[in-house]
Amino acid sequence: MKLLVIGGGGREHALAWKLAQSPRIVKVFVAPGNAGTALEHGLENLPITAIPDLVEFAKKEDITLTVVGPEAPLAEGVADAFHAADLKIFAPTKQAAQLEISKDFSKAFMQRHNIPTAAHATFSDASEAHHYLDQKEAPIVIKADGLAAGKGVIVAMTPTEAHTAVDAMLVKKNMGEAGMKIVIEDFLQGEEVSFIVMVDGYQVLPLATSQDYKRLRDGDQGPNTGGMGAYSPTPFISPERHGRIMREIIHPVINGMQQEGASYTGFLYAGLMITPDDEIKVLEFNCRLGDPETQTIMMRLKSDLFTLIEQALNGSLDNAEIEWDRRVALGVIMAAHGYPEVPRKNDVIQGLANLTAQQIAPEDFHVFHSSTTLGGDNGNEVLTAGGRVLCVTTLGDSVKMAQRNAYQIAEHIHFDGCQMRHDIGYRGMTKTGNRP
C-alpha cells in the first residue's frame, strides 16, 4: 500500500518515517517534502502543493490514505476535497478546523462548553479594544483571530506594548486579513505543556505527552519561535492531571464539536497551561500535530502508526492499543541564521552523512529535517532552506541522558550561522513534576 503525507517540515519527516516502518506500506509520498525525506528509505518527494493536484495524484496512484501535517491545507479545505473525491484522509474538515483557524471561534466554543481557558474579549474596532485595555492590567495577551504562522500572538508585558499591538493589527493591518479581528486574553502564568490526541469523531486515543521550548534563546529568553526543541514524556502531566485533561478538556471538545455538527477527526493538539494553583487551562487548540513535539513522539512510538490511523478512520479507536518506548525522547532544533525574523537560506550543511556517536546506538537517534533542500554544485549537497533546519532527536534513560545524547550528535553537524539552544529539556529535569 502507498500513503501520502502533506507537508514539508520536520513533523512530516517524522510522520512519514514512522509510517514507512509499517510492514504493509511499500512507499510514503511526501508533498512537497525536503532533503531529509528525499534521502530517507521508503519515502519519495512529490513536488506538488495545490489541493486539486494532490487529489488527482491520490486517485491516480491509488493512495490508501493521506495524512496532513500543517494547518494551512486544513484551512483551505483539504479534508473536504479528499472526502468529495471519496479518498481517505486523516484530518479535520475546514469546519472542524475552526478550532485552530479562528481564535475567536475557539474561545467562544470553550465558553459554550465550559472548557477552562483565560478570560477574553474579541474586537474588530481599535478604540473599543483600547478602552478594554485601559480597564485591564499588564501583562496581557493580544492574538490575531486568524492563522498567522506563529506570529499572531503578542504577550504584552506593559500597557504600551499592548496598545501598540492593537494598533499594529487593527489600524496598520500588519497581519492582513488574519488580524482584522483580535482576541484580548488574560495572561496566564505557569508551566506550558503539549497534549496531543487522535480522534475518530467520537473516541480519543491520547498520544505521549510532551513539552515544547518556544523561545529562541537559553533560559526561555528572546522572541517566540515555532519551537526550538521538545521532549517527551513531560513529568508535569501526572496520571491525575492526565485524567483531568481528558475529562475537563478533551472529551468536552470532541462532544461539543459533535453537538455543533462539526464532528472532529484527526490529530488534536491542546496547548495547556498548568497554573501555580494547579488549574489546567487551554492556551490554544491546533488541529494537527506539533512541531517539534511530533519528532519526539514518533521516536517513542512502538506501535504501527498506519494501523492506528486506519482504526481512527474506521471509528474504532476504542479498540486501539498503543505502545511507547519507556525512555525519554528529546529533540533539539538547529535553526538558520536570522531565524525567526529573516532566516537565511542556502548555507551548506555538513556532517550529516555517516553520523555516529560513541555510546549511542544508531536506532536511538534520528536527524529529522525541517527546512532543507538538495542543491550545490552536484545537486547532492544538503542546504538550509528556511527557519528551522534540523531536529536532532534522541532517546535516553532520563531527560538528562536524552539531552546529553542530542547535543553529542548535534556537535557533528555544522552550517554557517546555526542557532541552537543548549538547555532543551531543563524544565523536565525535576523528580516530581510539581513545580508550578
Give the C-alpha separation, 26 to 255, whole Å: 36
Q: Which amino acid is at 325?
A: D
Sheet holding 65-68, edge to edge: 43-45, 27-32, 2-7, 65-68, 89-90
Set of cell numbers at residue 404: 546529553
By beta-carbon proximity to ligand GLY, the closer residue of 123 and 269 is 269
- Site for ligand AMP contains 230 (CB under 6 A): no
Query: Residue 15 phi/psi, 5° resolution?
Result: -60, -50
Query: Which of ligand AMP, ligand GLY, none lies near 425, with the C-beta cut-off 5 to 8 A by kind?
Result: none
Q: Find the shortest distance in angstroms from Cβ 212 to ligand GLY.
A: 4
Q: How far is the CB of 227 from ligand AMP (least distance, A)?
A: 9
Cell of 272: 495547556
Cβ at position 68, least distance to ligand AMP in Å: 19
Phi-psi category of 55—alpha, beta or left, where left has phi over 0 and alpha has psi -120 to 50? Answer: alpha
Q: Which of 116, 271, 417, 436 binds ligand AMP (CB under 6 A)?
A: 271
Residue type, 275: T
**Cα separation of 331 and 394, whole Å?**
6
Residues 102-121 that bind ligand AMP (CB under 6 A): 118
Closest distance between ligand AMP and the C-beta of residue 305, in Å? 25
Q: What is the three-class DSSP state of 196?
A: strand
Span near ligand GLY by CB under 6 A; candidates 26-34, 286-294, 354-362, 426-434: 286-294
Nearer to ligand GLY, 295 or 384 (CB): 295
The one of ligand GLY, ligand AMP, none whose footprint includes residue 283, by CB under 5 to 8 A per kind, is ligand AMP
Binding partner at 71 among ligand AMP, ligand GLY, none, C-beta below 5 to 8 Å by kind: none
Query: Does the protein bind ligand GLY through residue 145 (CB under 6 A)?
Result: no
- Considering only 144, 182, 193, 283, the residue that binds ligand AMP (CB under 6 A) is 283
Figure out which of the listed residues 71, 185, 293, 310 binds ligand AMP, where binding follows CB under 6 A.
185
Look-up of cell digits 471538545: 253
Question: Is residue 362 reached through a cis peptide bond, with omega within 30 degrees of 0 on the bond before it?
Answer: no
Contact residue for ligand AMP among 39, 85, 155, 262 (CB under 6 A): 155
Q: Which contacts (CB < 8 Å, 24+ apart) does range 27-32 have?
A: 27/2, 27/3, 28/2, 28/3, 28/4, 29/2, 29/3, 29/4, 29/5, 29/57, 29/61, 29/63, 30/4, 30/5, 31/4, 31/5, 31/6, 31/7, 31/57, 32/8
C-alpha cell at 110: 470553550
Stretch that binds ligand AMP, among 38-46, 182-190, 315-323, 416-424 (CB under 6 A): 182-190
152 belongs to the binding site for ligand GLY (CB under 6 A): no
* Residue ranges that bind ligand GLY, judged by CB under 6 A: 212, 226-227, 286, 290-291, 293
* Residue ranges that bind ligand AMP, judged by CB under 6 A: 118, 141, 143, 153, 155, 185, 187-188, 192, 214, 224, 271, 283-284
